[in-house]
Amino acid sequence: MTANGWFQIGFFVLVIFLITKPLGVFLARVFSGEKTFLDPVLRPIEKLVYRLTGIEEKHEMRWTEYAVAMLLFSGVSMALLYLLERVQKVLPLNPQKFVNLEPGLAFGTAASFTTNTNWQAYSGESTMSYFTQMAGLAYHNFASAAVGIAVAVAVIRGIARKETDKLGNFWVDTTRCLLWVLLPICLVGSMVFVSQGVIQNLKPYTAVELIEPQTVQVTGSDGKTTTQTVTQQVIAQGPVASQEVIKEFGTNGGGFFGANSAHPFENPTPFSNFFQLVLIFTIPSALTYTLGRMTGSQRHGWAVWAAMAFLFLAGVTTAYWAEARGNPQLGRINQTRSAMQSGGNMEGKEVRFGIANSALFATVTTDASCGAINGQHDSFTPLGGMVPLINIMLGEVVFGGVGAGLYGIVVFVILAVFIAGLMVGRTPEYLGKKIESYDVKMAMLAILVLTFTILGFSALAIIKPFGTSSISNPGPHGLSQVLYAYVSSAGNNGSAFNGLNANTMWYNTSTAVAQLLGRFFMIIPVLAIAGSLAKKRIVPESVGTFPVTGGLFAGLLVATIVIVGALTFFPTLSLGPILEHLLMAAGKSF
């Protein structure tokens, strides 16, 4: 670990802290229908959208109507993406003449992008036409992010409002999110990426002559090995910048290229890398301020932010330490940092980014439900690779996905005040609302759906040949690969331990189902909690009220998140990365 590395991590945290309040205020104004500086331009467009689609702007929805609207929107969007992938061959903007996706991959990808997961069992540059990338995948990057933020806003309204059963209008919240938040910032952000060298074109791929022709061994379908001389390289092109910015800002994570943010056309410079990191945490961090502002308890918003920041720092410290200390099995080889080498475990990492920025990226992308990567998590040391795994297992509430992080941590807040209430023998309260059995039941449903999905599918995949046949490394590392696939899917993250061959019928369909369950069967009980809270009266604070502000609450919230995560997943972690770490220390690798 170096002072330079720590400075970059510290500077990143500072920038996120500074963005939180101004964007949080802006979000609160947008979703409260207050005036903003963008209104003169966007308000007429918004009214036109409502007129064309028949949306009644003033109509407020109960939680059930809000949930059904969200489900119908997502279901229809998913079906359209599936159709688009299946007929891309006959659609325009396909200069490489890519064929239609096969049904299993099309279904898995449609579910993946609809649920904001962006799990990719394909490489974009060899599979997707420009039309599919833009009209299918990029559309979902915007739409799924807007859905997540809309649900979070509905949850905040549920906490803030009293004695009503209305949570707002799903269509209005989604439209305002797209027009006021996502599109303007992505327009500016894509220009920033272009300035750094991220490409944006619709050209056919470029074939260039190699300066040094390469000789390679090729094994044909008949099993015979021949020697070939490669003199040309095909360089993929495409509309990357416009997709890159929403990939991070919407915490989607699906790369235009298979190498994702390790590809120089997606992430060419140290500044573009830093900008991507900031984009990932921007909205999730700002929403904590929005929570405080809309509920009238700014200190509560900051307490939630502090709990998230603590867990983030714990994760990045562990990952950075584990990667910087290198691989003990390399023994006498000098792994210390010098002017000639980065030092530490550089396998699977970009030399351009080094240890600190790879560890930071891995932590940020899995704290949030982003899933973009600038290095291979599969090549991290066992403990370094366990950090991304744990981040997702904790429910991605450490800032989390856009909207999903906020409504996810509200579930843990409900549990934390419930536990505090049990400890002091009082009815638990949350910002003046009594937390009752229904709220806790819904909170548990939201948490248990992740547990059952992750552990259920993982257990099946590691005992059946259709699951084990995709594993590329034996032993505990193989378990980590399978576990990561379902943790990432159910948690709607989308990053992968890339050693697993996920493009099989089993993994395409099972991860798709895991993504759908992890997304929608969590949102439904969360909206039920919001509907329940909105109906309640505000109870005046008393001496027995457990404060949801300050260090004690933040500490209890952190403890609740860690204990629930540890109780659920420690056995599998002990058989995967922890065992692998101990065996590595004993001289055995996988």
In the complex, which residues of this chain contact other proteins (CB under 8 A)? 64, 67-68, 71-72, 74-75, 78-79, 82, 86, 103-104, 106-107, 110-111, 427, 434, 436-438, 441-442, 445, 513, 516, 520-521, 524-525, 528, 531-532, 535-537, 539
User: Torsion-angle region of residue 407: left (phi > 0), alpha (psi -120 to 50) or beta?
Assistant: alpha
* Pick 100 or 200: Cβ nearer other proteins: 100
* Pick 64 or 472: Cβ nearer other proteins: 64
Q: Distances from the Cα of 440 to the Cαs of 278, 413, 548, in angstroms? A: 34, 10, 17
Which is it for the CA torsion 411, 415, 416, 420, positive or negative? positive
**Minimum distance from CB of 433 to other proteins (Å)?**
9
**Minimum distance from CB of 151 to other proteins (Å)?**
13
**Minimum distance from CB of 84 to other proteins (Å)?**
13
**Minimum distance from CB of 86 to other proteins (Å)?**
7
Which is it for the CA torsion 219, 220, 224, 229, positive or negative? negative
Q: Distances from the Cα of 171 to the Cαs of 49, 59, 425, 524, in angstroms? A: 10, 10, 42, 17
**Minimum distance from CB of 506 to other proteins (Å)?**
14
Q: Measuring CA to CA, which residue among 378, 584, 562, 409 is closest to residue 488?
A: 378
* Pick 44 or 75: Cβ nearer other proteins: 75
- The three state secondary structure string of 81-147 is HHHHHHCHHHCCCCCCCCCCCCHHHHHHHHHHHHCCCCCCCCCHHHCCCHHHHHHHHHHHHHHHHHH
* Pick 387 or 533: Cβ nearer other proteins: 533
**Minimum distance from CB of 34 to other proteins (Å)?**
30
Which is it for the CA torsion 151, 15, 346, 322, positive or negative? negative
**Minimum distance from CB of 304 to other proteins (Å)?**
24
* Pick 373 or 524: Cβ nearer other proteins: 524
* Pick 12 or 73: Cβ nearer other proteins: 73
**Minimum distance from CB of 426 to other proteins (Å)?**
13
* Pick 104 or 268: Cβ nearer other proteins: 104
* Pick 385 or 428: Cβ nearer other proteins: 428
SS3 of 226, please? strand
Q: How far apart are the first and last CA of the chain?
A: 25
Q: Measuring CA to CA, which residue among 384, 372, 314 is closest to residue 346?
A: 384
CA–CA separation, 122 vs 498, rounded Å? 11
Residue-by-residue DSSP string for 503-537: -SHHHHHHHHHHHHHHHHHHHHHHHHHHHHHHHSP
Q: Measuring CA to CA, which residue among 429, 517, 409, 441 is closest to residue 155?
A: 409
**Minimum distance from CB of 93 to other proteins (Å)?**
23
* Pick 101 or 360: Cβ nearer other proteins: 101
Q: Distances from the Cα of 410 to the Cαs of 99, 179, 413, 576, in angstroms? A: 44, 26, 5, 30
**Minimum distance from CB of 445 to other proteins (Å)?**
7
Strands 433-434 and 225-235 come out as: unpaired
* Pick 70 or 277: Cβ nearer other proteins: 70
User: Torsion-angle region of residue 224: left (phi > 0), alpha (psi -120 to 50) or beta?
Assistant: beta
CA–CA separation, 200 vs 202, rounded Å? 7
* Pick 485 or 516: Cβ nearer other proteins: 516
For tokens 């998230």, what's the residue? 308
SS3 of 374, please? coil
* Pick 123 or 509: Cβ nearer other proteins: 509
Q: Measuring CA to CA, which residue among 114, 282, 46, 284 is closest to residue 185?
A: 282
**Minimum distance from CB of 381 to other proteins (Å)?**
38
* Pick 138 or 533: Cβ nearer other proteins: 533
Question: What residues contact residue 415 under an 8 Å CB cut-off, 6+ apart?
Answer: 440, 443, 447, 560, 564
Q: Which residues of 548-585 are buried (b: 16+ CB within 10 A; e: fewer)?
A: bbeeebbebbbebbeebbeebbeebbebbbbbbbebbe
* Pick 539 or 582: Cβ nearer other proteins: 539
SS3 of 552, please? helix
Question: What residues contact residue 375 under an 8 Å CB cut-off, 6+ apart?
Answer: 262, 348, 349, 350, 353, 358, 361, 362
